[in-house]
Chain A
């Protein structure tokens, strides 16, 4: 029993160190965001500011373009999620229920294209942007982000749909439902958890996406939050450190909230690619 107590203490200590390593960057960013500029540059730095203040948050909301960037990011997430579902639900259903000749090539392709660097795709669209009128378009940006994530989501949904028995829809069709009616009434309700995973996964990526808007948007009115806050770090880093910290902390909050509320789905999305094969 004694050795087990020692083991408990040792493992708990290691675990506590790991915990600190992972929480500290977030903690430090928050701690910087509630300081006034003088305290940011006072030495020695204090873990927790002497006079915590939310003034920076007020400044960010009232005097910077960051709220506009938030709105743009939300639009981006919304359109991307809708487009991903439009692309991936029918495709995944098709691959799950029918055997096409091209399925055996298409399924590995869905997995392989994940390795294509976004920067390469965005270069071509940048080159064509003037002829096609897609530069500075949030809609086209959402289409790109949705299309970029859709192969993996299609594959994710297909493996989920495979677990829903075909017989349920067939029974409905025998009872007089059309294929689309059976899809809507029987299949989609059962598929909700899989679709939820897809929605969360796409939202997190669309929210954090950087390379596509970075290349395809230069109108600061249309910046999503990632590019907008990055732009703040560019020129005047020293002067605005406290505001950059505030912006960075605000940027991570929605992702953290979604994650904490819907952890189960996030973990599923994260490991699905590797475990199910």
Chain B
């Protein structure tokens, strides 16, 4: 290949170098220093990494993040699969239009800015008079005036943050699972029926193995995107009450900008980066294995 054609791919290489590798190299470098946000001088040290694994704030944030990610991913992939099955079945029994409308509404949640989602959920789950969810619960579930502190109680806030994240990410999982289900050859089910297989057997021996690839891809992508959620949590709870919904990305923000501790925040960021990198490697292994097979 003629050397001159390299100029075609230069733009993206420049974008990668200037807007990804340079900033990340700086973050990694800062994490090995004692740099402060608004001070010029610094010296190299390992103190951040010595401190981080005994820092209760970090361990708490890590724990919160893992809970948030695990339940978000289970919710997104699990409900994504159930909805995929629901819409697949609805198309087959002549409820095509209703299925299409509902799918459209689900996907519309995905295009909304994260900040708007945070605000919308905050309006619904508020402890103020307009908190419609509290009103519904008082009226239809408990039959007496009830005010659940959804967002000012630590455990409830984490639950609401997780549920809102499932809501937001469900579009992706549902579309992926639905597309995967449609690709399973119908003959497989017919043959299984002839052999006397029941619905559960068909699901576990035909459906699940056929879509396992997409499930794995779905799990890895949902995991990565959930680890990086920032805007929706900030606008819903600001990491609170206290630090009860302060996931790692918010802890990076607080360390660097509220505490102006650039180096420590960078170290938290590097750990977040390493987690993401490990999951991304899994993701690449899955999709490239797919290419070899296809």
Contacts and interface: CB of A to CB of B under 8 A. Distances in A.
B91 to A, nearest CB: 11
A12 interface: yes
A255 to B, nearest CB: 5
Contacts of B5: 94, 98, 100
B175 interface: yes
A210 B115 CA distance: 7
Given A93-B8, A112-B277, A148-B19, A256 B167 contact: no
Contact of B221 (A125, A126, A273): A273
A88 interface: yes
A251 interface: yes
A123 B179 contact: no
A22 to B, nearest CB: 5
A232 to B, nearest CB: 9
B130 A233 contact: no
Given A7-B93, A41-B128, A125-B23, A117 B112 contact: no
Main secondary structure of the interface of B (DSSP, over half): helix
A32 B131 CA distance: 11
A255 B279 CA distance: 30
Contact of B19 (A18, A86, A121): A121
Contacts of B137: none
Contacts of B234: 210, 230
A252 B280 contact: no
B1 A120 contact: no
A18 B112 contact: no
B124 A18 contact: no
Interface stretch (B50-58, B69-77, B102-110, B153-161): B102-110
Interface string B82-114: 010010011001110011011011111111111
Interface stretch (A42-50, A51-59, A168-176, A184-192): A42-50
A74 interface: no
B230 A117 contact: yes
Interface in B3-25: 5-16, 18-20, 22-24
Given A15-B98, A252-B116, A277 B12 contact: no
B167 A22 contact: yes
Contact of B269 (A22, A113, A120): A120
Nearest to B26: A124
A45 B217 CA distance: 43
Size bin of chain B's contact surface: 35 or more
A29 B124 CA distance: 8
Contacts of A235: none
A116 B135 contact: no
A261 to B, nearest CB: 12
A91 B95 contact: no
Given A41-B129, A94-B8, A238-B128, A256 B108 contact: yes
Contacts of A116: 20, 24, 273, 276
Contacts of A251: 113, 115-116
B184 interface: no
A275 B214 contact: yes
Size bin of chain A's contact surface: 35 or more
Given A87-B12, A208-B114, A210-B115, A120 B277 contact: no
A88 B124 contact: no
B235 interface: yes
B256 A263 contact: no
Among A24, A94, A95, residue most surrounded by chain B Cβ atoms (within 10 Å): A94
Interface in B236-285: 249, 252-253, 256-257, 262, 265-266, 269, 272-273, 276-277, 279-281, 283-284
Contact of A32 (B7, B130, B171): B130
Contacts of B83: 18
A40 interface: yes
Contacts of B94: 8
Contacts of B1: 98-100
B291 interface: yes
A239 to B, nearest CB: 12
Give me the 6 closest cross-chain CB pairs, A-B, nearest first. Answer: A94-B8, A208-B113, A147-B19, A91-B12, A124-B23, A210-B231
